[in-house]
Amino acid sequence: MPKNKYVKREIEYNMVIGGRYLDDSASVEMLISTMRDGNMARLYSKDALDNYQIFLEKYFISSLESFSPALGLNYRIITIDGSNEERFTGQFAENGDSRNEYHCDAVIVCDTSIPVAFRVGDCPVVLIIGEAPVDIKIMALVHAGRAELTAGILKKTVGQMIEKHQMHILSTTAYVFPHICRNCYALEHVEPVVLEQAKDFLENVDDLYHLDLLEWLTAQLEEAGIRRLVKAHYRCTAGVSQSCVSAELHKSKNFKGLFSHYRAVHRKELEGRFVIVARIIDKDYEDEEKIMKT
């Protein structure tokens, strides 16, 4: 499969995130759709695939060269490298196939520039970026909701990155993206295993459990050995609580909001999902292209 050509693009962004490149060298690119880009989940929109393709095309990325798996509840970790990249390209999976090949909760990408896209409504997504031997960039996109954190998916993913790819833990940075805040996330019932594992991140107010997913995932990343966590892209997706950390942002008429399952249920709004896309920029490929053009 031909690798994506990297072209630096000057496109005005919005109040959801502050930028598209996660470091000064622009070695990792990330994108987040908003409600204006349309619904990204087939369960709630027959146009989901079209919306996804149009969104990527705005940034000169082809959906035929990207991978968007079905997420949830099997705690599987998929690894994509140069040897198996073609198997996953062009997949926009809703429920996975009969072999469960495209159903997972984490994707590790090493030595390839394939874009990976997760479609979520309130759950945290964490991007982990590090260095492997011979200056190879490695990243992982992790679905880190309540069930996944209970299963320890973050720690398992970091463990695989270290054991199977020799990722240098001191080189590693984690980025957390928009999800529901502890004030908005109010639950009537919590599973006993969550009560035990997340007891330091739960607060009971008026017979409702408020779960702080951000603090819980931060603790798991620290246990895995990651000390650098960037929260600059974090916004609350729901905005239903008066104490919400992003309440004022949600009230702004200029705010290009995100789909939220929790907000949709509470306010009887349109249900949907937004997409978070990340890819490693292939700088060597870019340099070769420049040489060929000169």
Q: What is the DSSP letter of 183?
A: T
Question: Rounded to an integer, what distance in angstroms lies between the CA atom of residue 218 and that of residue 197?
Answer: 14
20 or 178, which is more confident: 178
* Per-residue tokens: 282: 């292939």
Angle of the 213-223 helix axis to the 153-165 helix axis, nearest 10: 30
Question: Rounded to an integer, what distance in angstroms lies between the CA atom of residue 272 and that of residue 120?
Answer: 8
Q: Please check the confidence at residue 279 and state whether its pLDDT lies above 90.
A: yes
Ramachandran bin of 166, using left for φ above 0, alpha for ψ from -120 to 50, beta for the remaining angles? left
Stated as kind and residue range, the H or E segment containing 162 is helix 153-165
Place of tokens 């320890």: 152
Q: Please check the confidence at residue 81 and state whether its pLDDT lies above 70.
A: yes
Angle (CA) 278-283-289 rounded to 5° is 120
Whether the CB-CB separation of 216 and 201 falls below 8 Å is answered with yes
Q: What is the DSSP letter of 21?
A: B
226-243 mean pLDDT: 91
Phi, psi dihedral angles at 215 (to 5 degrees): -70, -35
The rounded mean pLDDT for the chain is 87
Q: What is the DSSP letter of 181?
A: -
Taking only the tens place, the pLDDT of each residue in 143-185 is 999 999 999 999 999 999 999 999 999 989 999 999 999 999 9
Tell me the domains of the chain and their CATH numbers: 28-179+213-286 (3.60.140.10)
8 or 137, which is more confident: 137
Q: Please check the confidence at residue 202 and state whether its pLDDT lies above 60.
A: yes
Extended strands (E) in 154-290: 168-176, 186-187, 202-205, 208-211, 228-230, 274-280
Q: Please check the confidence at residue 2 and state whether its pLDDT lies above 60.
A: no
111-125 mean pLDDT: 96
Q: Please check the confidence at residue 4 and state whether its pLDDT lies above 80.
A: no
Q: What share of the chain is helix, strand, coil (3-state, %, to 5)?
A: 30, 25, 45
Q: Please check the confidence at residue 14 and state whether its pLDDT lies above 50.
A: no
Produce one character per residue of 175-188: b if its CB has 16 or more CB atoms within 10 Å, e if not: bbbbbbbbbbbbee
Nearest by Cα to 2 from 90, 107, 106, 108: 90
Whether the CB-CB separation of 55 and 275 falls below 8 Å is answered with yes
Q: Please check the confidence at residue 8 and state whether its pLDDT lies above 50.
A: no
Task: Look up the pTM and report it.
Answer: 0.89
Q: Please check the confidence at residue 30 and state whether its pLDDT lies above 70.
A: yes
Whether the CB-CB separation of 40 and 94 falls below 8 Å is answered with no
262-268 mean pLDDT: 91
Taking only the tens place, the pLDDT of each residue in 39-65 is 999 999 999 999 999 999 999 999 999
